[in-house]
Structure 1
Amino acid sequence: MTRTRIVLGAIVTAIAVAIMIGLGFWQLDRLEEKRALIAGYAQAVDQPPIAYPPVPTADPPLYRRSALTCLEVTGWRHQAGANAAGQPGYVHVADCRLGAEGPGAAVEIGWSREPTAGTDWQGGPVEGVIGPDERYRYRLVADEGLAGLERSAPPSLAAIRNNHLAYAVQWFAFAAIALVIFALATRKRRREGA
C-alpha cells in the first residue's frame, strides 16, 4: 500500500513539476516578447505622426503622434490619473464619434482634481499621442488640456510592466518546492513503513 502511494505521488508530482517548469519557460518567452514590444514602442516615439486608425488593430500604434476630429461626444469616462507634473487626480476621457459609422475613438482631453470636469467639451480637432485604453485598445491623449482642463501626463513607456522574469522564477521555485515536499513525504512514509 505504501509503495503504491509513493508511485502515485511520484506520478502526480512529476506531472505538476513538468507543468510548472513549462510555465516558467513560457514566462521567459513572454519576457523576450515584452522586451521586443517595449523596444518597438520606444522607436515609435521618434517616428513621424500617423493618421489615427479609426478601427482597432491587432497591433495598436501606441506612443505614436496622431490627430483626429471628434465629431460628437457620445459618452464620458473619468478615471484616476495624473497631470503632466505628476500630480494625482482625474483624467477625463471622451468617447467620440469620428464618422457616420464605425466604432469611434477615445480622447483623453485633460486632467483635473474634480471627478467629473470637462464634460462641456463638445468635440473638435485634437492632436496628441496614442496611449492604451481599456475600451478601444488605444486612445488619443491630447497635447494640451481642452475645456479648461490641465494637460494629462503623456503616455509613458515606464507604465508598461514587464514582470515575466519574476513570474518565471516563481514557477521554477514552485517546482523545486514540490520536489522537496515530495522527497520529505516519501522519506517519512518509508520510515513509517520500516
Structure 2
Amino acid sequence: MTEPAPPVRRWPLIPTLLVLAAVAVMIALGVWQLQRKGDKEALIALFQRNMAMSSMVAYPELPPVADAFLYRKSSIVCLEPVRWDPRSGTDQKGRAGIRMIADCRTGAEGPGVLVDVGIGDDFTPPKWTGGTVQGTIVPGPEQPTVMERLMGKAAPARAMLIADAPAPGLRASAVPSAEDTPNNHLAYAFQWFFFALVALIIYVLAVRRRLQA
C-alpha cells in the first residue's frame, strides 16, 4: 500500500496580497515625496527671486500668506504692541540672543501683525510703543505641523515682519535665507523605497522558510 503524497505547500494568498498592498503604498509614498521635492525646489527658487527684489509690497495682514509675498520688503504701522513673544534667535552678525516678537495692533479689528523688532540679551521686552516698521516678510514662528496638515486641523499660518532697524537697545535680527527652507523630500523618498524593499525581502524569506520546513 502506497503512502499518501505530502500536501503541496503554496504561497499564502491573503498574507501575500496584504504585503503587496503595503509595499505598493510605500512605493506610492516615495513617488509622492519625489514630486514634493520638485515642488519645494520651485518654491525655493521663488523665494530667491523675491529676496532679489527691492520694491515693496503691501503687507498681507490676514493669513494665509501667499508665497509670492514671503521674503519681500514691506512696511506696517504698529499702533501699539499688545503682546510680546520672546524667542531664541541670532542677530545679523551671528550672535545669539532673544528675539523680541511683538504682536502689533494695526487697527480697531483684525489679528494684528507679528513684528520682530530685534535681538536682546534677556527676556525683558524693550520699551518700544510702536510706529512705522519697514522690513522683510518671512514665515511666522508658529507653523502647522505635518500631522495637523494631514488631519485638516492646520490653522492658517501668520507671517512676520523682521524690522530692518531694531528697536532702541536691541540688535538687528538676522533675516532667514530662502536656502534655509527645508527640502528633505529626496531622503524621505529613499526611505520609503528602502522600507518597501526590506518588507518584500523579509516576507519572501519568511514564506520560503515556511515552505521548505
Structure 2 Cα separation of the partners of residues 173 and 123 of structure 1: 53
SS in 2 for 1:86: coil
- 2:136 aligned residue (122, 129, 139): 129
Question: Which ranges in structure 2 are unaligned for 5 or more consecutive residues?
Answer: 1-6, 143-156
The one-letter amino acid of 1:29's match is Q
Question: Which ranges in structure 1 are unaligned for 5 or more consecutive residues?
Answer: none
Q: Which has the higher strand share?
A: 1
Structure 2 Cα separation of the partners of residues 4 and 113 of structure 1: 71
Structure 1 residues 58 and 107 mapped into 2: Cα distance closer, same or farther (>3 Å)? Answer: closer
The one-letter amino acid of 1:39's match is A
For 1:1-194, list aligned pairs within 5 A.
6-47=12-53, 48-60=55-67, 61-118=69-126, 120-135=127-142, 136-192=157-213
SS in 1 for 2:12: helix
Q: Deviations over 1:81-112 (max 9, x none)?
A: 11111122211100011111111110000012
**Conserved? CA contact 2:88–2:97, under 8 Å:** yes
- How far did 1:5 drift? 7.1
> What is the identity percentage for the equivalent residue pairs of Structure 1 and Structure 2?
42
**Conserved? CA contact 2:84–2:100, under 8 Å:** yes
- From the CA coordinates, give the structure whose radius of gyration is larger: 2
Structure 1 residues 73 and 186 mapped into 2: Cα distance closer, same or farther (>3 Å)? Answer: same
Structure 2 Cα separation of the partners of residues 98 and 167 of structure 1: 42
TM-score (norm. length: structure 1): 0.92
User: How large is the Cα RMSD of the aligned pairs?
Assistant: 1.8
Structure 1 residues 89 and 58 mapped into 2: Cα distance closer, same or farther (>3 Å)? Answer: closer
SS in 1 for 2:14: helix
- How far did 1:57 drift? 3.4
Structure 2 Cα separation of the partners of residues 114 and 145 of structure 1: 15
TM-score (norm. length: structure 2): 0.84
